[in-house]
Structure 1
Amino acid sequence: MASDAKKLQPIIVKKVKKGGHAAHGGAWKIAYADFVTAMMAFFLLMWLLGSTTEGDKKGIAEFFSAPMKVAMAGGSGTGASNSILPGGGADLTQMVGQARQGDSKELAQKKKEQEAIRAEAAKQDAKKMAPLSAKISGIISNNPRLAEFSSQIRLQTTPDGLQIQIVDDQKRPMFDTGSAVVKPYMRDILREIGTALSGVENKISLDGHTDRAPYGSGERGYSNWELSADRANASRRELVAAGMPDDKVARVVGLASSILLEPDQPLSPVNRRISIIVMTREAEERLLGTGRTPVSSLSNTDAGETATR
C-alpha cells in the first residue's frame, strides 16, 4: 500500500523565468556622495594637523578640554565676540582678547605716535615758559612800585607749568582780614601779570589759600573755604581787567588751609597766598580732559597753591 501511495503522489515542477534586474532607485548615490564628502573632510583634517604647529595644537586642545569654563566662572568668551575661538593673532595659546594679528603692531605704533606728540608739546611749552618767567621777572624789577614787593612774588617752574605765587606779608597784606577786596598794591601786581599773560595761549589756573586761623562763623557759615574762593575770584577779575581774556581761565578754586606753604607754622602770613599757574598743555589735558594731548593724572599738590587770608 505504501508503494501505491508513492506512485499516486503528484509531481510538481517549478519553472523559474529569468529576466532583467529590477530598478533600484538613487539611494546609493546619496550614500556614495556622503562617503566621498567624509573622505575629503578626513584628508583635509589630516592636512591641517600636519601643517599646524605644536603651539596651535595645544591652544585648540586647551579650548576644547574645558568649553564651559568661561560660562561657569564668568568673564568674556566666545559668546562675547564674532570669533569662534577667543584670542586670535599668531599664537592660539593666548586665550585673552579678540585681536587680529596686526593689532599689536598698530597699538604699538599709536602709542609711539602719542609719546612723540606729548614730547613735542612739552618741548613747545618749555620754550614758552622760560621767556614768560623772564618777562614777568623783568616787569617786576623794572617797575619801582612793584620792585618793593618782589619778596612777595615767587616764580617757579613746575611739572604743570609756570607757577606765580603772591604771598601775604604781615606788614603788607594783600587783603584786609576777612575780606576779599584787593588792596591797591595787589591790584597793581595782578594787572601787570594780567598784561603779561594776555598774549599767552596756555590756560590759567587760579587757587586761593588761607592760613589755619578759623574765620568768623566757622564751619557751618562763611569760612576760610568761601573766603579763599572769593579772593581767588577777585584776583581773576583783576587779571581780566588788565586785558587777559576771561576764557583763558580754566579753573578758580578756594583751598582754604588744606595745602599750607609752611606746614610747621600754620598761622604764618605766607600761607595766605594767591597762586597763578600758566598750565602746560599736558596739565590742561589732565585737568579738563580736552584731548589736546595724551596725559597722566594731575596731583592735588601740583595743581597749585593759592589763597590768601
Structure 2
Amino acid sequence: MVMSEALHRIIIKRPVAAAHKHGGGWKIAYADFMTAMMAFFLVMWLLAISTPKQLAGIAEHFKMPLKVAVNGGQKSSTSTSVIPGGGTDPTHADGEVKQADSDADDVKRLDELKQRLDNMIEASPVLKQFRPQLLIDITPEGLRIQIVDSSNRPMFDRSSAIVVSYMRTILREIGPVLNGQPNKITLSGHTDATLYTQGDKSYSNWELSADRANASRRELIAGGMQDNKVLRVMGVASSMHLNQDDPLAPVNRRISIVVLNHRAQTEIESANAANAASAGVKPAVAQPGTARPSAVKLSAAHSDRRI
C-alpha cells in the first residue's frame, strides 16, 4: 500500500517567473529633462538680446493679476488701488505716466534738439568759429552742452565770474533754442585744479565755479530763455575733470548745461520737494536776474590771488 502511493505521487512543476525587465521609462524622463533645459537656455538667450524697454514690459506682465491679464487690462501700476490691479476699475488710467513712452519721447526730443544745435552752429559764422569749444552729447540725465575754456580764448576773466564777450554771444544764442523744449535745465560751473593762495579758507574754486554758473544763467536769460527753465545751479569746483590726465588743463574750466530728460527732472523736483517738506518750509524761489553782490565783489577782490 505504501509502495502504491509512492508510485502514484503527482509532482507539479511551475515555471519560475522571469525577472522584470526595465522598459523605456528612463528615456521619457531624459527627454523631458532635455526639453526643459532647451527651454531654459532659450529663455536666457531671449532675455540677453531684449532691450530694457522689452524687459520692463515682460516684468510688468508678471506683476499683473491673472484676471486683469485674461480680460486684457492695462498695466497694474495704472490702478488707483494700493493693491496692484485692484480697485473697482483695474483699467483706470489715472495712475503713473507710462515711463517707457515718456523715455522714448525724451530721446526723440533731445536728439532733435542736438541736431538743431549742431545745425545752428554750422550755419552761424559767429558760432562756427567757437565749434571746438562746444561739446554736445547725450548723457543718462539728458542733453549736455559743455562750453569749455581754451588757453587762447578764456570764457571768463581770470579768477572772476565776469563773462567775456564771445562767451556772452554763445550763451545768448543758445538761450532762445532751449525755450522750444518743455524740459528744464541745470547749470554747473567747473574750474581747473589751480588753487587760491589761501586754499579753501576764504574765496575758493567752490565759490568761483558757483558764481560762474550763475553768471551763465543770467546771460541765457538775457538772450531770451525763460527764467523758470532753470531747475538747479551748481558749483563743483575742480571735482570733475574733463581731462583726467592734466588737472590744470584749460578744458577743465567749463560751463555745463544739461537739458534734463523726464526721469532726471522728476528725481530733482522730488528731492527738492522732500527737502522742503522735511524743513517745514516752502521752497525758496530765486528772483530772476538777481545777482549775489557780495560774491561778485569778493571775486574781484581775489582776482589776483590764484596761483
TM-score past 0.5 threshold: yes
Asked if 1:103 is matched to 2:103, the reply is no
Match in the other structure for 1:262: 243
State the SS of the aligned residue for 1:220. Answer: coil
Distance 1:196 1:160 in 2: 19
Aligned-residue RMSD, C-alpha: 2.6
Change (3 A) 1:223 1:124: same
Match in the other structure for 2:61: none
Match in the other structure for 1:207: 188
How far does residue 158 in structure 1 lie from its aligned partner after superposition?
A: 1.0
Structural mapping, 1:215-226, within 5 Å: 215-226=196-207
Match in the other structure for 1:176: 157
Match in the other structure for 1:271: 252
How far does residue 106 in structure 1 lie from its aligned partner after superposition?
A: 3.8
Which of residues 172, 176, 180 is equivalent to 1:195?
A: 176
For structure 1, which runs of at least 5 residues remain unmatched after alignment?
1-101, 292-308
Change (3 A) 1:104 1:193: closer
Structural mapping, 1:1-150, within 5 Å: 103=83, 105-106=85-86, 117-150=98-131
TM-score (normalised: structure 2): 0.58
Paired residues of 1:284 and 1:290 also in contact (CA < 8 A): no
Match in the other structure for 2:143: 162
Deviating more after overlay: 148-157 vs 211-220: 211-220
Query: Which amino acid letter does the alignment assign opposite residue 150 of structure 1?
Result: R
State the SS of the aligned residue for 1:289. Answer: helix
For structure 2, which runs of at least 5 residues remain unmatched after alignment?
1-81, 273-305
How far does residue 216 in structure 1 lie from its aligned partner after superposition?
A: 4.4
State the SS of the aligned residue for 1:130. Answer: helix
Change (3 A) 1:280 1:216: same
How far does residue 125 in structure 1 lie from its aligned partner after superposition?
A: 0.9
Asked if 1:287 is matched to 2:253, the reply is no
State the SS of the aligned residue for 2:246. Answer: coil
TM-score (normalised: structure 1): 0.57
Distance 1:256 1:290 in 2: 23
Paired residues of 1:216 and 1:223 also in contact (CA < 8 A): no
Query: Which amino acid letter does the alignment assign opposite residue 159 of structure 1?
Result: P
- For residues 109-132 of structure 1, the C-alpha deviation after alignment (integer angstroms, 9 at most, x for no partner) is 89x997861111111111211111
State the SS of the aligned residue for 2:98. Answer: helix
Share of identical aligned residues, percent? 49
Match in the other structure for 1:94: none
Match in the other structure for 1:6: none
Which has the greater radius of gyration? 1
Distance 2:264 2:95 in 1: 15
How many residue pairs match? The answer is 190
Match in the other structure for 1:234: 215
Change (3 A) 1:272 1:118: same
Distance 2:157 2:197 in 1: 14
